[in-house]
Chains A and B, each alone.
Chain A
Amino acid sequence: MAKIVSYSEAASIGMHGMVLVARAGETINVQKIAEITGSSRHHVAKVMQRLVKEGFLSSNRGPSGGFKLNIEPGGITLLQIYEAIEGHVKVLSCPHEKQVCPFEKCILGTVVTKMTQTFRDHLSTQTLADMME
């Protein structure tokens, strides 16, 4: 099966994890996030630590430990979380990154660029505050 729109599990954990932290109110731990997202504790811990390093989250250890938001929910977008984990989103005109092409028009038309832009725009306009309903 081929996936066209795709992002890594790490990116998914990061984005979903941050939404869960924002909604939790109190601290939420790796175990809880792993249960809800269906990912391994190890992977969740790794990704959340990355986000702590970025300054998005603060963490404390111990029995009632876990993660809390370190920023205002309205002040961070899904795109920022995504790019902290995966790097800058590239919007390419040619998926093969070729400069020269023997075709009059790209066979993919503008479809790939439009898809990337649309998804990217969605991520850049959704803040964590928008996710708290």
Chain B
Amino acid sequence: MRIQIPKFLYKVSRLVHISEAASLAIHSLALIASSNVRLNAKKISEILHVSQNHLAKILQVLAKNEYLESNRGPGGGFILKKKADEVTMLDIYQLIEGNVECHLCGIDKNTCPFLTCIFGGKPDKLTNEFVDYLNNTKISDLKTKEITYA
């Protein structure tokens, strides 16, 4: 007899959702900023342990928006176009995901009938803190460990 595990027992949830694509874009830029050689999608995907296809699309978006410069062929790859100390994490996050919603409690409702927010206003406050963090952290602040790029 097959034992059915109730969904809620193995389901896990997160209260905070960080866009994977945006996070990948930021990691890639920081990696390229730290590197002394041109990196291509394949190399970056190996260092970050992510799918090369997925990464390539994100790098295209960054190149299209003038954050990266690319050249093809052997020895080709990406270098930074905008300087690392002139780009914030927020710039990239919002490039990929659009503006961060700061004024909702998390659900698309226009009016809330409760006199006091049952969440104590925390979702708004925490979101604003996150946006501040992203806005105050530049790509040049993100340091990598010693990596052999060749």
Contact = CB atoms under 8 A, between A and B. Distances in A.
B3 interface: no
Interface string B51-72: 0000000000000000000000
B37 interface: no
B6 to A, nearest CB: 9
A78 B142 CA distance: 37
Contact of A98 (B15, B49, B98): B49
Contacts of B130: 4, 111-112, 115
Nearest to A7: B106
Interface residues of A, number: 49
A103 B94 CA distance: 22
B13 A9 contact: no
A115 B99 contact: no
Q: Name, among A6, A37, A116, A131, the residue most crowded by chain B CB atoms within 10 Å (CB to CB).
A: A6
Contact of B114 (A16, A78, A88, A123): A16
Interface in A65-115: 78, 82-90, 92, 95-96, 98, 100, 102-105, 107-109, 111-112, 115
B85 interface: no
Interface in B1-49: 7-20, 22-23, 26-27, 30-31, 47-49
A90 B26 contact: no
A126 interface: yes
Given A3-B101, A115-B129, A19 B118 contact: yes
B15 A103 contact: no
B106 A6 contact: yes
Contacts of A102: 31, 47-48, 144-145, 147
**For B27, B97, B119, B143, which residue has the most chain A Cβ atoms within 10 angstroms?**
B119
18 contacts: A1-B100, A2-B97, A2-B101, A4-B17, A4-B131, A5-B17, A6-B106, A7-B106, A16-B114, A37-B109, A104-B144, A107-B23, A107-B89, A108-B18, A115-B16, A115-B126, A119-B15, A119-B122
Interface of B: 7-20, 22-23, 26-27, 30-31, 47-50, 89, 93-94, 97-101, 104, 106-107, 109, 111, 113-116, 118-120, 122-123, 126-127, 129-131, 133, 137, 142-145, 147
